[in-house]
Structure 1
Amino acid sequence: MTNVVPIVSKLYCCASETVFVVRRRPNVVNGGGFVVSECGSQRVVFRVDGCGVHGTKGELLLRDANADALLLMRRKRGMVEALSIYKNWKGYSLEYEGLQNLVFSLKEPNSCLVKNNGIQISTEPRVDSKKSRDFEISGYFPAKNCSIVDTSGNIVAQVGVKKEVEKLMESKDLYHVVVKPGIDQAFVFGVIAILDYIYGESTRC
């Protein structure tokens, strides 16, 4: 049986491996961001609105296929972050009543002292309470060759790996993501939205 890892919701945990195509929107269209579709059916599953939608830097929104808000990603700012060795992002699930519940935190190195540690992700509640993190980013996102890896070294999601769309990868506006069975797909694309912003791509104002 597949081990289910719900972070945003078990509704987004599929029992089989799923391949998605990500198509970026220009910043001039609805504030930028990207659209996520299933590779085979081309059915739209998620949409990420760039910070240009609200005019607020460091704030991104993941929506479902019906355009309902699922996840708000927000970067912490202020003097505390300026002095910190990490830049911190928080991912909040959005309830129907408008309530925001913290579901994950992402730490981006902000100092040469931690550059080798890479980007680290922890969930709420923690997947592995014995570790300082639950997931980390391996590889380089701008090259579309990176993975989300758990504390045991298992790849839970991978960017840019399927050869059948390799020709389309020549377009900077199109890439793909493979999500392993049982992994929360909404969480994966929340993380990818932050990576997109960090590296100044479609979600950046």
Structure 2
Amino acid sequence: MNNKVVIVDEKFCFPEETHLTVHKTSVFFPGDGFIVYDLHGEVLYRFDSYGPESTPKDELVLMDSSGKCLLTLLRKKPSLHQRWEGHIGEKAEHQEPIFSLCRSSIIRRSGLVVEVHGDPEEEYHIEGSFTHRCCKMMDNSCRDPVVEIKRKVDPSTNVMLGKDVLLLCLKPGFDSAFAMGLVLILDQMHGDDADDVAQEVDPTVEDTIPPS
């Protein structure tokens, strides 16, 4: 991908292919939020939750490391296709969304569709299983994925870590804040429910990776 995909801010687009570590945790309730680290171990993004009683959530806020709101994500109700909408920063009254995500309405096509508002040609398809931490986001060309979500492997032991630690793999120039906003939505739609994969590809997931 030669051109930048800027949805939130150009500063979140890395010039080279980047793997971010996403840890499902929280300073309030372990396992109920997210912290995202860059390649140097610095906190890049975070999402804090304030307890199980707040679930299911209809509004999510992606913040940077200082707590500044980058994206507000809203679940639309009622919605046949589980539609979510993303807004830049803190949503203001009458503010239009910059993107939406919903289940595909195309017969015989599983997965999710992400539409970037204002550009009818900018559309992405998410396929695979977020529940198993194995999914990809493709652009309209449907060639190479622009975003991949994988389980992380401990390089010292070659053992796959638990599902609370994942890799967010980004092609050069792709907006990482936008990608992380989609991860928050996917977690709300599928979470850790192993039964919620009716419309997802059910991959074979091994606990270890054979040495190369």
TM-score (norm 1): 0.78
Cα separation, 2, equivalents of 1:163 and 1:143: 14
Do structure 1's residue 103 and structure 2's residue 98 form an aligned pair?
A: yes
Distance in structure 2 (CA, Å) of the matches to 1:24 and 1:16: 25
Structure 1 pair 67/106, CA: closer, same or farther in 2 (3 Å)? same
Q: Is 1:63 the equivalent of 2:63?
A: yes
Pairwise CA distance, 1:172: 2.4
- Cα 1:70–1:160, aligned 2, differ >3 Å: closer, same or farther? same
145, 148, 154: which one pairs with 1:155? 145
Task: State the SS of the aligned residue for 1:178.
Answer: strand
Name 1:48's counterpart in structure 2.
47
CA 72–51 in structure 1, closer or farther in 2 if over 3 Å, else same: farther
For the structure 1 residues 200 and 159, does the alpha-carbon distance in structure 2 shift closer, same or farther, using more than 3 Å as the test? closer
Equivalent-residue separation in structure 2 for 1:44 and 1:199 (angstroms): 25
Higher mean C-alpha displacement, 140-149 vs 27-36? 27-36
**Who is 2:197 aligned against?**
none
Root-mean-square deviation (Å): 3.1
Per the alignment, residue 6 of structure 1 pairs with 6
* Compared CA separation, residues 62 and 158, structure 1 to 2 (3 A): same
Higher strand share: 1
CA distance in structure 2 between the partners assigned to 1:148 and 1:67 by the alignment: 27
**TM-score (norm: length of structure 2):** 0.76
Q: Which runs of 5+ in 2 are unaligned?
A: 194-212
Alignment of 1:137-176 (within 5 A): 137-153=126-142, 154-160=144-150, 165=155, 167=158, 169-176=160-167
Query: Displacement, 1:125?
Result: 2.0
2:210 aligned residue: none
Q: Is the 8 A contact 1:94 1:101 kept in 2?
A: no
Q: Which runs of 4+ in 1 moved over 6 A?
A: none
Q: Confirm or deny that 1:93 pairs with 2:92.
A: no
Q: 1:54: Cα distance to partner?
A: 9.5
Aligned equivalent of 1:123:
116
Number of positions where the alignment pairs a residue of Structure 1 with one of Structure 2: 189
